[in-house]
């Protein structure tokens, strides 16, 4: 018997019929019950479960209509919070740093829309552009340059190739000053003069070509927060508007010469909110300078170099996929996915293919580009956008009060602010409050990383280029450089049910520093005791030990086992837990300073030699 498909009408009960109504007060009561059961005494579950970003923005556990910041407009119209680019899709942009025309053509023939060429002394030079772009249809594929001090020479080389070339010349004197540390008045003034001259030429006769890129990556890579990145970009953009209009360009023409570049991280909601907030603030600037025509801020999002890891680099594919998704649905006009092996040297054909296919998959298979501003209307996303914009605007005003972006770079205001944020983030990473998969969590000591030739050296001397994983990876490198892998012996006490959880925790922590973690196995309570654990310790070759058991077993066995380990030659004895016991030198636990523990362990190993 065939059952006909059910047809539903407006009189049918809604899907939620039969369920009790959901209210904030009902949620608060349920949340309070769980919190109190877990030992948290509070009458304010929202506060107890809230978190705070590095910008001081409070992220609540629950949002409803009362949290909405108000009307945000519609896609394609001022204030452009909800996006400015037409559907479907964003521009897939691949970065190249070497004069490899075959790689450029391979990307363009297999899904890439535009190329981003970074020029460096050891990589592409301005004179290489004819060879690098040989075979590229410059009237179809936009070219974005990033030439630093060689911007004028590179621009002239690109002008000579074709009249109809499109893209961006990449003039960014303030970004260069941030990278190199040379923000002196003569240097910045000359850079602004060159940028203004190129902008005038593009505005006069090259409608598809823009002159200036406001690159916010230097501030992100120095450890800055999202609001700090946004504010530095906004202050830089305002400085360029002043320079261009002072040399004769109209406000509308000046606005038309600027592109903005931002970092996209694996925190998808933060990235979406950042791009939306950037457009909102730039529209406010456009209104303040009385622009008559504007299509909103043009954005180029790049998957964050700071979040990439050299250890377990395959995990970078997951990070960049999340970041790319967030950048695309957040409204970026162009997106660059850094290859997963970026930290290891020059990407190869496979990693570049994965990078471009990540975007193609999201666009063509996941259809992520077919909806304008899918985060629009989300109470959380809208509130986060508004709060982030407010924090960024406050920092932007501080920069303006200091005399503008150039003055803030010269005085150290920007560097000091970013350094403070990096130290707070660094502490969160060290305590594993911000875990890094494959590095600070779930490290693979047996990994076989791909080998890549070295990449050209990048500009340096100004703001630092940090990576979130760098401190843990430095310890891994330190361990790998030793003739024999160092070890921390896990003295597992009692049956597996009593020690497995803490032994797993301890192994994960110590392996993050490159330590092997041999274990004694279940010995207490099975007919053996401290003597057998000490014998296993001697056999492991380790010089440092860590006790792993339940609190109940620690009360009886921690002191005698620690004494036996000392007698067997242990230089230092850790304990997985928070108790204090005779013979134990230090403890490890959730939220402890893991980097401090690992460094102390290395120090004790060196003393033992």
pLDDT tens digits for 346-388?
999 999 999 999 999 999 999 999 988 999 999 999 999 999 9
Which tens digits make up the pLDDT trace of 13-54? 667 677 778 888 889 999 999 999 888 888 899 999 999 999
Considering 286-290, 292-296, 416-420, the range whose residues carry the highest mean pLDDT is 416-420
Question: To the nearest 5 percent, what fractions of the chain are helix, strand and coil?
Answer: 45, 10, 40
The mean per-residue pLDDT over the stretch 142-165 comes to 95
Which tens digits make up the pLDDT trace of 90-116? 999 999 999 999 999 999 999 999 999
Which tens digits make up the pLDDT trace of 236-279? 999 999 999 999 999 999 999 999 999 999 999 999 999 999 99
The mean per-residue pLDDT over the stretch 590-599 comes to 97
The mean per-residue pLDDT over the stretch 161-180 comes to 95
Report phi then psi at 519, rounded to 5: -125, 155
| The dihedral sign for the CA sequence 280, 286, 287, 292 | negative
Helix, strand, or coil here: 236? Answer: helix
**Domains present along the chain, CATH in parentheses:** 91-406 (3.20.20.240), 482-607 (3.40.50.280)
The H-or-E segment that residue 593 falls in is none
Q: Give the Å distances, CA to CA, from 346 to 103, 148, 226.
A: 12, 20, 28
At residue 228, the pLDDT reads 98
DSSP code at position 519: B
At residue 527, the pLDDT reads 43
Comparison of pLDDT for 24 and 334, the residue scoring more: 334
295 band by pLDDT with thresholds 50, 70 and 90: confident
Which tens digits make up the pLDDT trace of 498-509? 999 999 999 999
**Position 1 pLDDT exceeds 90:** no
At residue 460, the pLDDT reads 84
Lowest mean pLDDT among 220-234, 402-416, 448-462: 448-462
- Smallest CA-to-CA distance from 211 within 305, 125, 147 is with 147
pLDDT above 90 covers what percent of the chain? 82
Q: Can you say how many angstroms the Cα of residue 375 is from the centroid of all Cα atoms in its chain?
A: 20
Token code pair at residue 112: 């890439």
Give the span between the Cα atoms of 118 and 261, in whole angstroms: 14
At residue 6, the pLDDT reads 55
Q: What is the mean pLDDT of the chain?
A: 93
**Position 294 pLDDT exceeds 80:** no
At residue 113, the pLDDT reads 97
């Amino acid at each position: 018997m065939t059952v006909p498909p059910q047809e539903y009408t407006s009189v049918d009960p809604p899907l939620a019929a039969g369920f009790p109504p959901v209210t904030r007060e009902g949620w608060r009561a349920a949340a309070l019950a769980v919190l109190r059961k877990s030992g948290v005494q509070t009458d304010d579950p929202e506060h107890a479960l809230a978190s705070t970003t590095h910008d001081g923005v409070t992220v609540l556990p629950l949002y409803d209509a009362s949290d909405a910041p108000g009307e945000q407009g519609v896609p394609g119209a001022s204030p452009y919070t909800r996006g400015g680019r037409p559907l479907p899709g964003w521009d897939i942009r691949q970065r190249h740093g070497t004069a490899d025309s075959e790689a450029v053509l391979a990307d363009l023939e297999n899904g890439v829309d535009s190329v981003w060429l970074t020029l460096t002394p050891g990589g592409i030079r301005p004179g290489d552009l004819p060879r690098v772009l040989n075979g590229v249809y410059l009237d179809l594929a936009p070219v974005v340059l990033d030439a630093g001090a060689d911007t004028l020479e590179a621009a002239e080389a690109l002008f000579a190739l074709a009249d109809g070339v499109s893209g961006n010349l990449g003039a960014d004197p303030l970004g260069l000053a941030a990278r190199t540390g040379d923000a002196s008045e003569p240097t910045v003034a000359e850079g602004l003069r060159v940028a203004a001259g190129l902008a005038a030429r593009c505005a006069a006769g090259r409608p598809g070509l823009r002159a200036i890129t406001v690159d916010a990556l230097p501030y992100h890579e120095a450890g800055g927060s999202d609001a700090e990145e946004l504010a530095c970009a906004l202050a830089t953009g305002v400085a360029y508007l002043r320079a261009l209009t002072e040399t004769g360009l109209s406000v509308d023409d000046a606005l038309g010469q600027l592109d903005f570049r931002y970092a996209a991280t694996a925190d998808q909601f933060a990235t979406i909110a950042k791009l939306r907030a950037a457009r909102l603030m730039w529209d406010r600037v456009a209104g303040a300078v009385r622009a008559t025509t504007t299509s909103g801020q043009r954005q180029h999002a790049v998957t964050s170099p700071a979040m990439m890891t050299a250890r377990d680099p395959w995990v970078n594919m997951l990070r960049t996929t999340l970041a790319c998704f967030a950048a695309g649905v957040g409204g970026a006009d162009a997106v660059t996915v850094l290859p997963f092996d970026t930290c290891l040297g020059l990407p190869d054909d496979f990693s570049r293919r994965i990078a471009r296919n990540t975007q193609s998959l999201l666009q063509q298979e996941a259809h992520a580009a077919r909806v304008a501003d899918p985060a629009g209307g989300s109470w959380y996303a809208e509130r986060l956008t508004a709060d982030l914009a407010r924090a960024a605007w406050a920092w932007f005003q501080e920069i303006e009060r200091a005399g503008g972006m150039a003055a803030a770079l010269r005085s150290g205001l920007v560097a000091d602010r970013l350094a403070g944020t990096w130290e707070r983030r660094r502490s969160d990473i060290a305590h594993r409050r911000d875990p890094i998969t494959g590095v600070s969590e779930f490290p693979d000591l047996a990994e076989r990383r791909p080998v890549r030739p070295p990449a050209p050296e990048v500009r340096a001397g100004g703001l630092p280029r940090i990576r979130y994983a760098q401190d843990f990876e430095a310890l891994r490198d330190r361990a790998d450089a030793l003739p024999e892998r160092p070890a921390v012996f896990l003295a597992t006490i009692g049956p597996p049910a009593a020690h497995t959880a803490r032994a797993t925790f301890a192994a994960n922590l110590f392996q993050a520093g490159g330590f092997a973690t041999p274990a004694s196995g279940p010995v207490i309570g099975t007919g053996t005791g401290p003597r057998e654990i000490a014998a296993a310790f001697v056999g492991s070759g380790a010089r440092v030990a860590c006790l792993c058991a339940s609190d109940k077993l620690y009360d009886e066995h921690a002191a005698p086992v620690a004494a036996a380990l000392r007698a067997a030659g242990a230089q230092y004895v850790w304990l997985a837990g928070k108790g204090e016991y005779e013979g134990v030198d230090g403890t490890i636990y959730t939220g402890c300073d893991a980097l401090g523990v690992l460094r102390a362990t290395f120090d004790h190993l060196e003393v033992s030699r």
